[in-house]
Amino acid sequence: MKVLSHKELELKADNIRQDILRMLAHAGSGHSAGPLGMSDIFTALYFGGLMNYDPKKPEWDQRDRLVLSNGHINPVLYVSMAHAGYFTREELKTLRKFGTRLQGHPERVRLPGLESTSGPLGSGLSQASGMAYGLNMDGQKNQHVFCLTSDGEHQEGNTWEAIMFAGKNRLRNLTAIIDRNNIQIDGYTEDIMPLEPLAMKYQSFNWHVIEIDGHNFDEISGAVNQAKAIFEKPTCIIAHTVPGKGVDFMEFDYRWHGIPPGKQDLPGDPKAKDQLKIALNELRTLKGKILSEHE
């Protein structure tokens, strides 16, 4: 897979956001805020040279593993995989349809390239820790396991069992990337169940912690490469992101956690019939920053 330049990564992330909104609108259900907020992270992993994979050989034994713990943001995973060549972009229109490979939450046996089935929040880091532990047992020192996880699911006890296990076993081949967008389906995390001081909690369980701007490709790349260089412990990257990134009426608004554009009118937002058109127009121009090279 070609490693994209900084400018190409920015454009790729923007195209991924557009496809996310299109597929959600076509499905008529699904989550908007998280997938848009994590598009830069996924773009960097798949197209920035940070993760080893081969879409033509999804079971390649030398591949890195990506575990999506917060399975409800799978539109960003599906679109990234389509852009990477695992399947055609046309198939994105089947999201959440009966019999589709693109289920509302990832189902490993349906789609080659998925490493885990996810749905119940809080279980992904345990799955990823088991994979990392197993690779170490098999003497596979070069494969890395990435666990993409939400901040809200850190309210689940299973997550902290995995954090303890990984820290105790010094799983240096494991990196957790937290989508620290501060929202969940019914409000803001710090109002519902405060998580701070999140970094200190991970550090107390023997993790290396890096905090980054989750929309800055230099910081994303630097953090992942640093995680791979840490020898004696697992790494947690706390990626501060904007939910609904790129669409003005969605950004920072927890109401967009679990609904697609065009589904319903929300106070203060564009009418449902106009939401997709307005959102795509903002993304096509990167809010005025890029136009001529896009589309």
Phi, psi at 273, each rounded to 5°: -65, -20
Asked if 146 and 64 touch (Cβ cutoff 8 Å), the reply is yes
Q: Compute the distance between CA of residue 31 and CA of residue 235 in angstroms, rounded to an integer.
A: 27
Q: Give the count of beta carbons closer than 10 Å to the beta carbon of residue 292.
A: 5
Q: Is the bond preceding 197 in cis, omega lying within 30 degrees of 0? A: yes
Find tokens 């699911």 and name the residue: 153
Expressed as residue numbers, the domain containing 42 is 6-288
Q: Compute the distance between CA of residue 56 and CA of residue 63 in angstroms, rounded to an integer.
A: 12
For residue 120, give every residue at least 6 positions away whose Cβ sits within 8 Å of its Cβ, in sequence order, or none. none
For residue 222, give every residue at least 6 positions away whose Cβ sits within 8 Å of its Cβ, in sequence order, or none. 212
pLDDT at res. 12: 96
Q: What is the pLDDT of residues 269-284, one digit of tens each?
A: 999 999 999 999 999 8
Phi, psi at 31, each rounded to 5°: -105, 135
Asked if 105 and 29 touch (Cβ cutoff 8 Å), the reply is no
Q: Which residues pair with 180 in a beta bridge?
A: 240
Residue range 130-157: mean pLDDT, rounded: 96
Q: Is the pLDDT of residue 212 over 50?
A: yes
Q: Compute the distance between CA of residue 242 and CA of residue 284 in angstroms, rounded to an integer.
A: 18
What letter does residue 152 receive in the DSSP assignment? G
The radius of gyration of the chain from alpha carbons, rounded to an integer in Å, stands at 18
In a domain, 295, yes or no: no
Q: What is the CATH number of the domain that holds 121?
A: 3.40.50.970
pLDDT at res. 287: 52
Q: Which of 24-28, 46-50, 137-141, 216-220 shows the lowest per-residue confidence on average (mean pLDDT)?
A: 137-141
Q: Hey, which bits of the chain come out as E strands?
A: 65-68, 145-150, 174-180, 183-184, 187-188, 208-213, 235-240
In a domain, 101, yes or no: yes
Looking at the chain, the whole-number percentage of residues with pLDDT higher than 90 is: 94
pLDDT at res. 229: 97
Residue 250 CA, chain-centre distance (Å), reads 17
Find tokens 């848009």 and name the residue: 36
Asked if 275 and 261 touch (Cβ cutoff 8 Å), the reply is yes
Q: Is the pLDDT of residue 187 over 90?
A: yes
Confidence category of residue 288, pLDDT binned at 50, 70, 90: low
Q: Is the pLDDT of residue 205 over 90?
A: yes
| Structure-block tokens of residue 242 | 């904007």
In a domain, 1, yes or no: no
pLDDT at res. 285: 77
Phi, psi at 177, each rounded to 5°: -115, 115
Residue range 203-223: mean pLDDT, rounded: 98
pLDDT at res. 295: 42
Domains contained in the chain, number: 1
Residue 193 vs residue 141, higher pLDDT: 193
pLDDT at res. 293: 40
Look up residue 76 and give its amino acid.
V
Q: What is the pLDDT of residues 84-120, one digit of tens each?
A: 999 999 999 999 999 999 999 999 999 999 999 998 8
Asked if 208 and 235 touch (Cβ cutoff 8 Å), the reply is yes
In a domain, 293, yes or no: no
pLDDT at res. 289: 57
